[in-house]
Amino acid sequence: DAGITQSPRHKVTETGTPVTLRCHQTENHRYMYWYRQDPGHGLRLIHYSYGVKDTDKGEVSDGYSVSRSKTEDFLLTLESATSSQTSVYFCAISDPLLSNQETQYFGPGTRLLVL
């Protein structure tokens, strides 16, 4: 298994508070992704990074920001959490130059509940 960890694994927070989720990898993969997974929807891309300090928006980026100050860490911040951001958040990594043909490796997920 690819070395990807997410923290925290579970979080309950209140509406309006900022929340930061961390994704950490030990595989030196260039690309990192944040997805959310909700019933009735497929995995939806929030933001992704293609290198240190290089990030881009995904399909559902409103209300989220990201930072990548080093290869191994990709942080997702909910600036002011809302109940609609209750979801399961997955981090993924890939690197077509290092691993098998752009395969994405997923972290274990973070369950976030916003009350």
Partner 1 sequence: KNEVEQSPQNLTAQEGEFITINCSYSVGISALHWLQQHPGGGIVSLFMLSSGKKKHGRLIATINIQEKHSSLHITASHPRDSAVYICAARTSGNTPLVFGKGTRLSVIA
Minimal distance, residue 115 CB to partner 1, in Å: 21
Q: Is 96 in the site for partner 1 (CB under 8 A)?
A: yes
Q: Is 109 in the site for partner 1 (CB under 8 A)?
A: yes
**Taking the CB of residue 15, how many other CB atoms lie within 10 A of it?**
12
- Residue 39 tokens read as 């019933």
- Select from 43, 52, 71, 86 the one that contacts partner 1 (CB under 8 A): 43
Minimal distance, residue 50 CB to partner 1, in Å: 7
Q: Is 97 in the site for partner 1 (CB under 8 A)?
A: no
CB 20 within 8 A of CB 63: no
**Taking the CB of residue 72, how many other CB atoms lie within 10 A of it?**
18
